């Protein structure tokens, strides 16, 4: 048996007090007057013997009460068998959950403050020679170090709330990697939010684990879940619609809520709302972009005391006009001119002949090629790269086109195969209404729809592994216009020429809006709102960047170089891990040349205050074969040490002290 606080044993000197009192009581004599002394000796002998035994028992009870009371404060521990205890110093790995959900109010300030206080008690319960590792959600390299007791206490006191959150499996694996089997103990201080269990947990019987759940009074939360724009491409001066998802996870309804949209520090829209408890809703904010280039937008609401998720940041580029490049064999195509040439939304540039300026293609938003007999191999390579970088391309071959040159591009992107020309009377009467390019044109087709007829078309093979999807087809099922996702862009290929000699299908009401959508709809809309703590890929067009240069992310407080790699004319940034605060970050190079903006938000998984209940915690402990502390608010340093060294006996000592006190009381009343 060992004592957790052996210095308390000095209080055993108090045993002298009942002994001294007892000795003074023995020296007191009482004179007895009796008319006859015949029975005096016998009565005196019998009385003295009983009283002496009674006084000795009372003295023993008082001594034992003091002894066991002192032992209770010294906290004795009954050692386990030697084979269960690693020789030498112990290693203790302590995880303190410092996610935003730990910032809820509790009796000690916040739940995080309570966790830090319990962790300090634990560290003080161990010896000076033991080693400690203090983990938080940052998982920084410095946290992998083993430190002494004083340094561990300093690190625990320095823990601050963090934007990062971890799964339970990742924390357990980190602790198991740090501890040798049987040589240490893992402790987890957390509120055990349900989002910790995003994946099944795995038990490890070689590492002794203790779960310390920390709770507080139930609190609700109103927050902005996410935002997105209705249209993928934003143009200055045009009306835009922002969708905002709000969630109220409290039981109380919100009667007078307000959402505010601010763009470039200017309020653009305000919406009042009411939201019942435990529900969510979509709000629509209608506004107009005034500034071209990069816009920094934030949506805010007011909700106390949890405020980290009351603002949602996002950035987006706003165009004055979309750049359209038209390639044709001899003369500009009149139907392309009619759609793009007289619209304030587009700036059309037409190139005719065999000489195609490939560098201008890379600067466009949409490329449309009409009446080309051959696609040169250089143009095929340029278009493929343009598609992969996020541009859209539409191809309308000439009736005399060499299909092999078109198939070179189609085969490279798994887009099916253009077949030979077939001269026949065909009717276009099948439309894929479910596709996003068509959804905005028709909600449903009128019963009396008039469909165009054509005099011929190329065949198209969709057999085999292909990504091609028909948008508009003939009555026999053969595709007329096909959509192929390529990288971050979309390829559209028509089996029909834009030539009036082969039909007037381009005059149908469906054609113009469909061509318009080909230029504006995007397969990939660059995400400009990322989540802190989750690594993501960000592609930045950086033609002006020096070959040996690097891109930086900077905000008001700091700047740093994120991990990155070159990819043709772009740079791929790996973001989300190094940023610490939510808000806007500018993408620049060393010479402060700006390449755009990006926004970061705190993880909304921390916004859902759903926690494991007592039964679920016990089931988790059984699954992990770990101990669950039922009363973390109590002084459990002795219990924690007992988990390592053996059985704690302070409760037994306290019970024995009370029993001897009761026995003393009974003896005093006994005459």
Residue 669: predicted pLDDT: 79
Residue ranges of alpha helices (H) inside 283-435 are 334-340, 358-362, 377-388, 403-412
Q: How many CB atoms lie within 10 A of CB 554?
A: 15
pLDDT tens per residue across span 223-234? 999 998 887 788
CB 336 within 8 A of CB 378: no
Q: pTM for the whole thing?
A: 0.70
What's the whole-number average pLDDT of the chain? 85
Rounded CA gap, 581 and 594, in Å?
21
Residue 82: predicted pLDDT: 44
- Give residue 143's Cα distance to chain centre: 21
One fold for both 88-217+610-650 and 322-520? yes
For residues 272 and 208, the model is more confident at: 272
Look at residue 86 and tell me whether its pLDDT is greater than 50. no
Question: How sure is the predictor about 88, in pLDDT bands with cuts at 50, 70 and 90?
Answer: low
Residue 650: predicted pLDDT: 74
Rounded CA gap, 63 and 468, in Å?
92
Query: H/E element holding 3?
Result: strand 2-3
Rounded CA gap, 327 and 368, in Å?
6
Rounded CA gap, 565 and 573, in Å?
7
User: Is residue 252 helix, strand or coil?
Assistant: coil
Query: H/E element holding 428?
Result: strand 417-431
Complete DSSP assignment for 220-248: --EEEEEEEESSSSEETTSEEEEEEEEEE
Look at residue 81 and tell me whether its pLDDT is greater than 50. no
Residue 642: predicted pLDDT: 52
Look at residue 35 and tell me whether its pLDDT is greater than 90. no
With a CB cutoff of 8 Å and minimum separation 6, the contacts of 343 are none
Distances (CA, A) of 274 to 41, 219, 312: 98, 19, 19
Q: What are phi and psi of 527, to 5 degrees?
A: -75, 120
DSSP label at residue 611: B
With a CB cutoff of 8 Å and minimum separation 6, the contacts of 620 are 192, 197, 201, 211, 612, 626, 628
Query: Tokens for 222?
Result: 């109103």
Look at residue 217 and tell me whether its pLDDT is greater than 80. no
Look at residue 181 and tell me whether its pLDDT is greater than 70. no
Domain at 529-600, CATH class: mainly beta
Domain range summary for the chain, segments of one domain joined by +: 2-74, 88-217+610-650, 222-319, 322-520, 529-600
CATH for 88-217+610-650, options being 3.40.50.410, 1.10.238.10, 3.40.50.970, 3.30.70.890: 3.40.50.410
For residues 18 and 281, the model is more confident at: 281
What percent of the chain clears pLDDT 90, i.e. is strictly above it? Answer: 37
Give the torsion through C-alpha atoms of 267, 273, 279, 281, to 10 deg.
-60
Residue 404: predicted pLDDT: 93
Query: Tokens for 208?
Result: 């002794």
pLDDT tens per residue across span 238-295? 888 999 999 998 888 999 999 999 999 999 999 999 999 889 999 999 998 888 889 9
Question: How sure is the predictor about 85, in pLDDT bands with cuts at 50, 70 and 90?
Answer: very low
Look at residue 463 and tell me whether its pLDDT is greater than 80. yes
Q: Which residues pair with 570 in a beta bridge?
A: 541, 567
What percent of the chain clears pLDDT 70, i.e. is strictly above it? Answer: 88
Domain 222-319 has CATH 3.60.21.10: no
Residue 83: predicted pLDDT: 39
Rounded CA gap, 618 and 624, in Å?
10
- 322-520: CATH topology is Rossmann fold (3.40.50)
pLDDT tens per residue across span 561-601? 999 998 777 889 999 887 878 999 999 998 889 999 999 99
Of 367, 379, 376, residue with least CA distance to 336: 367
């Amino acid at each position: 048996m060992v004592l957790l606080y052996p210095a308390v044993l000095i209080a055993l000197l108090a045993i002298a007090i009942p002994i001294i009192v007892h000795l003074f009581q023995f020296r007191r004599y009482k004179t007895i007057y009796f008319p006859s002394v015949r029975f005096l000796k016998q009565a005196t002998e019998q009385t003295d013997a009983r009283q002496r035994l009674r006084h000795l028992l009372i003295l023993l009870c008082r001594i034992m009460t003091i002894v066991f009371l002192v032992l209770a404060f010294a906290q004795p521990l009954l050692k386990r068998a030697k084979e269960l205890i690693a020789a030498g110093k112990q290693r203790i790995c302590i995880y303190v959950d410092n996610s935003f959900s730990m910032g809820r109010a509790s009796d000690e300030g916040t739940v995080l403050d309570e966790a830090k206080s319990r962790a300090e008690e634990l560290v003080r319960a161990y010896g000076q020679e033991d080693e400690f590792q203090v983990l938080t959600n940052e998982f920084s390299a410095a946290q992998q170090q083993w430190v002494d007791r004083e340094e561990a206490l300093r690190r625990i006191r320095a823990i601050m709330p963090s934007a990062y959150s971890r799964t339970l499996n990742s924390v357990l694996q980190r602790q198991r990697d740090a501890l040798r089997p049987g040589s240490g103990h893992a402790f987890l201080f957390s509120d055990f939010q349900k989002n910790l269990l995003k994946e099944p947990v795995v038990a490890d019987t070689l590492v002794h684990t203790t779960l310390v759940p920390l709770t507080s009074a139930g609190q609700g939360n109103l927050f902005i879940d996410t935002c997105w724009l209705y249209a993928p491409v934003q143009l200055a001066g045009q009306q835009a619609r922002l969708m905002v998802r709000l969630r109220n996870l409290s039981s109380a309804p919100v009667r007078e809520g307000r959402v505010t949209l601010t763009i470039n520090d200017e309020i653009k829209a305000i919406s009042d709302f009411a939201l019942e408890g435990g529900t969510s809703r979509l709000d629509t904010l209608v506004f107009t972009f005034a500034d071209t280039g990069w816009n920094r937008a934030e949506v805010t609401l007011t909700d106390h005391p949890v405020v980290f998720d009351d603002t949602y940041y996002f950035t987006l580029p706003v165009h004055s006009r979309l750049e359209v490049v038209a390639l044709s064999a001899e003369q500009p195509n009149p139907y392309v001119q009619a759609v793009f040439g007289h619209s304030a939304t587009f700036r059309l540039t037409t190139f005719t002949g065999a000489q195609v300026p490939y560098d201008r293609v890379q600067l466009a938003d949409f490329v449309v090629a009409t009446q080309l007999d051959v696609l040169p191999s250089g143009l095929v390579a340029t278009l493929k790269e343009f598609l992969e970088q996020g541009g859209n391309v539409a191809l309308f071959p000439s009736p005399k086109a060499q299909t092999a040159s078109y198939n070179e591009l189609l085969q490279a992107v798994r887009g099916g195969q253009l077949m030979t020309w077939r001269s026949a009377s065909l009717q276009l009467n099948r439309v894929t209404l479910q596709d996003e390019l068509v959804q905005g044109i028709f909600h449903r087709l009128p019963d009396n729809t008039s469909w165009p007829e054509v005099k011929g078309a190329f065949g198209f093979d969709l057999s085999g592994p292909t990504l091609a999807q028909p948008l508009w087809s003939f009555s026999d099922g053969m595709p007329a216009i096909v959509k192929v996702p390529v990288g971050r862009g979309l390829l559209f290929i028509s089996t029909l020429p834009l030539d009036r000699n082969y039909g007037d299908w381009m005059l149908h009401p469906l054609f113009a809006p469909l061509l318009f959508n080909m230029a504006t709809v995007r397969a990939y809309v660059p995400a400009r709102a990322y989540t802190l703590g989750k690594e993501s890929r960000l592609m930045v067009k950086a033609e002006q960047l020096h070959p040996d240069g690097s891109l930086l992310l900077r905000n008001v407080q700091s700047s740093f170089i994120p991990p990155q790699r070159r990819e043709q004319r772009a740079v791929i940034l790996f973001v989300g891990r190094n940023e610490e605060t939510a808000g806007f970050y500018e993408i620049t190079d060393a010479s402060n040349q700006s390449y755009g903006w990006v926004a970061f938000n705190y993880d909304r998984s921390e916004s859902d205050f759903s926690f494991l209940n007592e039964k679920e915690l016990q089931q988790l402990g059984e699954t992990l074969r770990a101990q669950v502390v039922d009363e973390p608010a109590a002084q459990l340093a002795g219990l924690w040490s007992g988990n390592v060294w053996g059985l704690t006996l302070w409760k037994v000592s306290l019970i024995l002290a009370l029993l001897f006190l009761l026995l003393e009381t009974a003896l005093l009343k006994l005459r």
